[in-house]
Amino acid sequence: MSPPRHREPLHHPLPWRDPWPLVQALAAELGREGLVWLDGDGSAQGHRSCLGLAPLEQRICRGLPGESGASDPFAALAELAAGGGHWMGWLSYEAGAWVEPAPHWQSPDMALLWAARHDPVLVIDHPSQRQWLEGQDPARLSSFAALLERLDLGAPPASQPPTAIAPASWHWHTPPERFADQVEQILAWIASGDLFQANLTACCEQQLANPADPLELYGRLRRSCAAPFGGLAIAGAAAAGEAVLSASPERFLRLDGTGQVETRPIKGTRPRHQHPEADADAAADLVTSAKDRAENVMIVDLLRNDLGRVCQPGSIQVPQLVGLESYRQVHHLTSVVRGQLGDGLSAIDLLRACWPGGSITGAPKIRACQRLHGLEPVPRGPYCGSLFRLGADGQFDSSILIRSLLLRGQRLRAHAGCGIVADSDPAAEAEELGWKLQPLLEALA
C-alpha cells in the first residue's frame, strides 16, 4: 500500500458564534445523517471542538473474522489514511477480534467501524474564542463559508419533539446484585493468579416510544455532563439509525505532527458533592486510596507495554502518574503516558498495537478480555471503543468511549464499568457503577 498522502489543509477564519446554537443551525440546514461533533468542554484537554456535516463519503465495517461479509476495520482505516482526507467516526470494542482472533468476542449489533469524510470541517478553539473552516477543496470551503455568513442563529432550528425518556423504564441486563456477584468471581480469579485486574461493565436500556433525535438527546447530555472528550456521531448510509453520544473524560491515543504519542488512562472515581468540605473529602479519599492508585499504576504499565510495540526504544515517559482531575460530576485519577512513534509507522499501526484500550480491559489484557466475555451478557459495541479524528495531515486523536450512550433505532443503551483489583469490595464497586451511570440517566430524564 502506498504511504499516506498528507496535505496541509486550507483555513478560512470565521467570526465567533456560540458553538451549540451554531451546530443546531447547521444540522437543520445540512441534515443530521453523517454528522460528527467532537465536543470539547473548554478545559485544557478539551479546548477544541470539531464538527463535520454532509459527508462526502462513508465507510462501514461489520462482523468478526470468519463471519459472512465481515471486513477488517484496521485495514479499512489504513486504506482511508492512505487515500487522504479528513475522517471522523467510531471504532467498536469488538474490533479487537481483528487484532486477537479468538472466540472471546461477541458480535456487536452496531457497526464495528463507521467513519465519514468531511470537507471542510468547522474547528472551534474555546479559550481563545476562535473558529475557522479547515478543508482541502477551495470551492467547498467557499461554499460552506457563504452558508455560515447567511445562517441566522436567532431563528430556532426545526427539530423533532423532545424524546420522552422514562426514568423507571430502564431494563438492567446486569442488576447491581448480579454485578457484585461478578466482582466476587473476578476476585477469585485474581486470588488464583489468573488475573491482576479486569474492567467489568454493565448496561441498561429502554425501547423508546418514538424515534429519537440524537442531536436533541446529546444537547441534554452536554448541558449537565460536559467533558473534554465528549461527542456525537450520527451514522448515515448503511448504518443509518445508529448513533453514539458521549461525555467521555478520557483520551485514548493522540498522534501529533512530530510523531509524539499520548495516552491518558483514567482509573479511580469518586462522586462530586455540592458542599465544598464534602467534595474536598471525596477528592482526598481518592488521592490517598491505595486500591485506586494500584489500579491506575497497573494500567499505566500495560499501556507502556502497548506503546513499546510501536514507539522508539527509550522514548516512553510518564510525565503524570496518578494525578487528580475533577469534572462536573466526578473526581478521577488520571495518568499521562507519552512516546515517540517509530519511523515509518502510522496512526493505524499505533491504534492496532494498543487495541482495545488497557483501561477498559485489564491485565493481562487478553486474559481479561476472555474472562469478561464470559460475564458480560451483551456486546459492548462502540462503548469502550473510540470516537476518533484522522486528519488529512496524518494527525490522529481519539477518546475512550466511556460515559456513553448508544442509540440503535429506538433502542437506547447506557453502559458503565469498574476496574476490579485484589482489594476491591463488591458492594462498593456496584455503588461506583451507580455514580458513573446516574449523571447520564438524570441528564436524559
What residues are annotated to the active site?
Answer: 250, 267
266 and 320 in contact (C-beta within 8 Å)? no
d(CA 259, CA 343): 9
Task: Copy the grid coordinates of residue 250.
Answer: 478520557
Report d(CA 415, CA 266) in Å as an integer.
16
Find out whether the peptide bond into 120 is cis, omega within 30 degrees of 0.
Answer: yes
Q: How far apart are CA 80 and CA 98, in angstroms?
A: 17
Query: Cell 479511580, residue?
Result: 268
